[in-house]
């Protein structure tokens, strides 16, 4: 009934929108296996009004949920996700009643590392009962491997994306209230994953880990808390934690609207903090993700990503260490920092970022890279959901801007 009503609203829009609406309706009514790619259809490239884009958003999201629900539910029931022959098992505990909009989701990574599987299994079992949020789904995954870098190998990103999407598609969790945490080797994972996957999370908590080559730049738009035993001297974890405390404070001072953080060094404690670090859970729960922040700081890590919030780059040009900073004020997108070896950047825009009925200007340094209107299209919206099944972080415009 809801889809039918939305069809009717979409079809009564005037002039150009009428033809687009009829063609879009016909496409949606096809069996999914018989649909040609929406992004390749001429009608999907026609400009939409904001109202039309909102309606199309609801139609495409409900269609995606209808197509994916059974498969995603089966994965959650089996408590295992497999991508490219790599499997992630998990256990869950549910706390409190589900709020309107869905539960919070806490992803909690165990310690261990380069040891026998039985040892890592015990670490996993310990993690399952380690923390208790007041409300939410507390999920403890079992690392797919038994290597030292359990939680920051490249397969983890896709597995966590799939896991998050499953809960979002089934309406079980609020996509803007997802949290990452981990202890020891799991803390290593938080140091690495939180900056490079920050656009998925509201906040993250690192307990007793080591960052290795990670940097905090990407944490600009999420809450980040770090807990370390003052006597945790192995691998100089305590010294590194103190250094990150300084780095985060420096970033916050230079950018007062970003990098909310809390760093607690638990004096007298070693690697085991005797659950004093549990205060991180309610601290994280106070944060709600902003899916479209107006300033983004993106540094590529050892695992490359083509997209971060509303910025996208060609995978062939992504390199470890690249730092891209962009902000939006009024109708102007300013590329504040651009890597010398990056030739173009793609902007993924929505009306929550700026007024898409007005001209948009893109500037890099003293150069105006683009000025003009950028249309909302079905093709862009379809691409948004194809890349990430997230109804709140969708975009209506995809426009590539040359930098050189």
Where do the domains of the chain lie, and which CATH numbers do they carry?
2-68 (no CATH), 79-285 (3.40.50.1820)
Quote the CA–CA distance of 360 and 344 in Å, as a whole number. 17
Using the predicted structure, report yes or no on whether residue 15 has a pLDDT greater than 90: no
Query: Residue 58's pLDDT is what?
Result: 97
| Termini Cα distance of the chain | 50
Quote the CA–CA distance of 155 and 149 in Å, as a whole number. 11
Query: Residue 21's pLDDT is what?
Result: 86
Query: Residue 13's pLDDT is what?
Result: 43
Using the predicted structure, report yes or no on whether residue 169 has a pLDDT greater than 50: yes
Tokens standing for residue 265: 């060094």
Quote the CA–CA distance of 228 and 204 in Å, as a whole number. 14
Query: Residue 18's pLDDT is what?
Result: 52
Q: How does strand 367-372 pair with strand 344-349?
A: unpaired
Q: What is the pLDDT of residues 262-298, one digit of tens each?
A: 999 999 999 999 999 999 999 999 999 999 999 999 9
- Percent pLDDT > 90 in the chain is 94
Using the predicted structure, report yes or no on whether residue 382 has a pLDDT greater than 60: yes
Quote the CA–CA distance of 241 and 229 in Å, as a whole number. 9
* Beta carbons within 8 Å of 161's beta carbon, 6+ residues apart: 200, 388
Total count of residues recorded for the chain: 404
* Beta carbons within 8 Å of 308's beta carbon, 6+ residues apart: 198, 199, 218, 296, 298, 324
Using the predicted structure, report yes or no on whether residue 330 has a pLDDT greater than 80: yes
Return phi, psi of residue 348, to 5°.
Answer: -110, 105
Rg (CA), the chain: 22
Give the residue with greater pLDDT, 178 vs 9. 178
Query: Residue 217's pLDDT is what?
Result: 98
* Helix-helix angle 16-29:50-78, to 10 degrees: 20
Query: What mean pLDDT comes out for the span 167-193?
Result: 98
Query: What mean pLDDT comes out for the span 313-320?
Result: 95
Query: What mean pLDDT comes out for the span 38-54?
Result: 95
Query: What mean pLDDT comes out for the span 76-89?
Result: 97
């Amino acid at each position: 009934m809801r889809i039918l009503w939305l069809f009717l609203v979409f079809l009564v829009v005037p002039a150009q929108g009428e033809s687009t609406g009829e063609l879009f309706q016909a496409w949606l009514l096809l069996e999914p296996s018989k649909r040609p790619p929406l992004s390749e259809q001429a009608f999907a490239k026609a400009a939409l009004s904001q109202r039309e884009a909102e309606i199309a958003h609801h139609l495409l999201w409900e269609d995606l949920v209808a197509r994916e629900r059974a498969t995603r539910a089966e994965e959650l029931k089996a408590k295992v996700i497999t991508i490219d022959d790599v499997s992630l098992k998990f256990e869950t505990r549910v706390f409190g009643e589900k709020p309107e909009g869905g539960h919070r989701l806490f992803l909690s990574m165990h310690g261990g590392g380069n040891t026998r599987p039985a040892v890592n299994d015990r670490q996993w079992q310990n993690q399952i009962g380690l923390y208790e949020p007041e409300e939410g789904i507390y999920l403890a995954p079992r690392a797919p491997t038994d290597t030292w870098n359990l939680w920051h190998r490249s397969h983890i990103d896709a597995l966590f994306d799939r896991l998050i999407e499953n809960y979002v598609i089934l309406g079980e969790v609020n996509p803007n209230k997802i949290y990452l945490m981990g202890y020891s080797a799991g803390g290593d994972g938080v140091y690495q994953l939180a900056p490079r996957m920050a656009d998925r999370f509201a906040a993250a908590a690192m307990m007793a880990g080591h960052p290795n080559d990670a940097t905090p730049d990407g944490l600009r738009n999420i809450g980040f808390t770090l807990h370390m035993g003052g006597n945790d001297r192995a691998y100089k974890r305590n010294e590194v934690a103190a250094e990150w405390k300084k780095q985060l404070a420096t970033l916050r001072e230079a950018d007062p609207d970003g990098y909310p953080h809390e760093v607690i060094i638990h004096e007298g404690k070693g690697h085991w903090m005797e659950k004093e670090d549990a205060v991180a859970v309610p601290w994280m729960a106070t944060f709600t993700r902003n899916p479209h922040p107006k300033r983004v700081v993106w540094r590529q890590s050892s695992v490359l990503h083509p997209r971060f919030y509303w910025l996208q780059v060609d995978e062939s040009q992504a390199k470890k260490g690249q730092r891209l900073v962009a902000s939006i004020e009024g109708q102007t997108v300013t590329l504040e920092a651009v890597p010398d070896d990056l030739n173009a950047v793609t902007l993924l825009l929505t009306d929550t970022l700026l007024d898409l009925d007005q001209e948009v200007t893109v500037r890099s340094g003293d150069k105006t890279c683009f000025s003009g209107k950028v249309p909302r299209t079905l093709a862009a919206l379809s691409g948004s959901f194809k890349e990430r099944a997230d109804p709140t972080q969708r975009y209506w415009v995809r426009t590539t801007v040359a930098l050189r």
